[in-house]
Structure 1
């Protein structure tokens, strides 16, 4: 590999981890796109992306833990199931021809979830109540499989976590980061057993991606805890829409101006989500006194 290619991998890992560590998704998509663009075989791409994801995910998990962004009951269930799903995905990719983790139906469903999350964040209507963990095992299994095959851990796991877990957005993203590290470990074990030669082919690029990811991970975890919950939810939803729209358009015979127009519309909506809107204060009944405010201790 040329030094320019390795430097490009470092830069890509840095940018991708800023997205992934801050919003819970994007690293696998960027890594696989970069590696696939070099003409590498799918199993080599997946093995290299899993190697880099293990390093970046581990640093991100440690940083999210440091900043209190992890809900451990969810993270443990999600990560254990993710490791099993990723091991299966690595074995399947190594032994089955023409395997694709994403389907149009799954991408369309998760795109719709992302749109709901973006609307929820824009309106400021965030779920409340005790955390739900029953969904974590099936989500981890599917997300781990998708992560091993196509780098799709985050676009599967994070929208589901945000939609049904009732966790704070920062804790949903931090828990997904812990799960990603465990899923990447499961994928590497699967590739080591079923396709050990694939792990050695793209080592320089994997190392470059990992270096960039390790540098960006603590910064991204810190930013996750700083963003308002509503804006974090809206941004994660819009990123999920963008990633799954990309998957849907990959096989669509659309001219590039139409694709560019769709993404420009999406960018405008994302900017609107970032600016957000404040929830209107509850209407006061005429003659009703405002509730007293407790004095600070």
Structure 2
């Protein structure tokens, strides 16, 4: 006897409602009610909404003040509240009360959604991706809102802003087509079939090929860096062996502090996309390491730690390929020019650049924290991102830091998804740090090997841990963390410029 196994599948029927033609009742005025109200207004801002609750939090009160189509009814729920509503959304933190309200609404023939209680719902509120007139609703059949949220972030980052222009163009073409409905559909299918003709295998191969080429290029760069450092130092093999032996015998507690410093700095940088130089400098200065040793060691160690971090971000899907390509070449050129200029003219000129950069990033830090608490985050198109990367690379080399605070904070302040910004900026940072360290090495030589090895070891241990944090931290938390770090970095530079440190 053959047993037929029926595979579970999502049997929800997707629809897009014209809510402005319907009346919605929301029961609950706390944080859950605020979340539901925000979702309704983001997608259908003209919907007539009545909110029934004993108390309303400040967010709900502010929404009602800003939208005339929201009415607040300060009372406990009663069956007559359902009268006149087409849809009922229950947003109270009491399962028994939610069940009773749901039964009453269904008794009166209304469609019901109960927050975080799928078995009581007639429909779910989806995670929604919006690009102008294009709207994509994502459903996991009520199993994992977190997965829906991650997919939303991915689509928001992947779909170009120009997709709305494509829709406008297709509408114009549709209006010009001749014939009956079937003929128009056939012609539009012919026009748009190019969008769906790339085989999945080809896409996967291209993605894997890009990853292999990137990893291979990074490996070759590291090999040539190490070989260049050894060959260009003109140190005889015998002397090098003697120095290695002396180094092994002279390991002291400071080396382990270097490992801790590298671990802490990379944990911050990998999770937030900035802060490696700031964290390292702060720890090393507290340990009494002199400034020339700090500057040279951090730039050299950052090559290895950023390489490990960048690879981990790519492995976990945090890299936007298009953004990486835009940032790469300008960032490398800027880093080379900054390192070369600093080697020629001396560090004193960098002291004039850093306060200017710090003033700019201080403002950006405040904007990022403001964006964390703003309900509707407007996503703006990034213009001249290449120039931004070039400036970040130059200031990172010439001013002693600034790649992460400048590039990451600017992109996030424009509404970009922090996870993809951090991943893309981190993987680009490897090549920026490589260009900077190679230039410094050719111009100034290599020293302070024990500091570099400690920072590298600690950084490579922390890299995969930090990447997992970047993918899992809530967006609001990441905004606040990035903004706070930028402000701390900026204030530290400004206070140092006026002689406080």
TM-score normalized by structure 1? Answer: 0.77
Given candidates 195, 202, 210, the residue that maps to 2:456 is: 210
Match of 1:220 in 2: 466
1:4-15 map, 5 Å: 4-15=253-264
Contact 2:340 2:439 in 1 (8 A): yes
Moved more, 242-251 or 46-55: 46-55
Shift of 1:49: 1.2
Cα offsets for 1:23-42 (capped at 9, x unmatched): 1111112234455641242x
1:99 and 2:334 matched: no
Deviation beyond 6 Å, 4+ runs, structure 1: none
Match of 1:128 in 2: 379
Match of 2:62 in 1: none
> How many pairs align?
247
Contact 2:409 2:483 in 1 (8 A): yes
Shift of 1:226: 0.4
Cα offsets for 1:90-139 (capped at 9, x unmatched): 1122111213164323211210111010111123443337x63x432111
1:161 and 2:411 matched: yes
Contact 1:79 1:178 in 2 (8 A): no
Give the CA RMSD over aligned residues: 2.1
Match of 1:80 in 2: 329
Contact 1:46 1:148 in 2 (8 A): no
Shift of 1:58: 0.7
Change (3 A) 1:93 1:35: farther
Whose strand proportion is higher, 1 or 2?
2
Change (3 A) 1:250 1:148: same
1:111 and 2:362 matched: yes
Shift of 1:2: 5.1
Contact 1:159 1:237 in 2 (8 A): yes
Matched residue SS, 1:128: coil
Larger Rg: 1 or 2?
2
1:152 and 2:398 matched: no
Contact 2:336 2:436 in 1 (8 A): yes
Task: Provide the C-alpha distance between the structure 1 equivalents of 2:443 and 2:371, rounded to a whole number of angstroms.
Answer: 43
Task: Provide the C-alpha distance between the structure 1 equivalents of 2:480 and 2:277, rounded to a whole number of angstroms.
Answer: 21
TM-score normalized by structure 2? Answer: 0.47
Task: Provide the C-alpha distance between the structure 1 equivalents of 2:481 and 2:316, rounded to a whole number of angstroms.
Answer: 20
Change (3 A) 1:30 1:235: closer
Matched residue SS, 1:103: helix
Match of 2:317 in 1: 68
Change (3 A) 1:18 1:124: farther
Match of 2:478 in 1: 232
Of structures 1 and 2, the one with the larger relative CO (CA 8 A, separation 6+) is 1
Q: Which runs of 5+ in 1 are unaligned?
A: 257-297
Contact 2:261 2:284 in 1 (8 A): no
Match of 2:429 in 1: 180
Change (3 A) 1:227 1:184: same
Task: Provide the C-alpha distance between the structure 1 equivalents of 2:290 and 2:450, rounded to a whole number of angstroms.
Answer: 15
Q: Which runs of 5+ in 2 are unaligned?
A: 1-249
Shift of 1:176: 0.8
1:49 and 2:298 matched: yes
Given candidates 207, 228, 247, the residue that maps to 2:493 is: 247
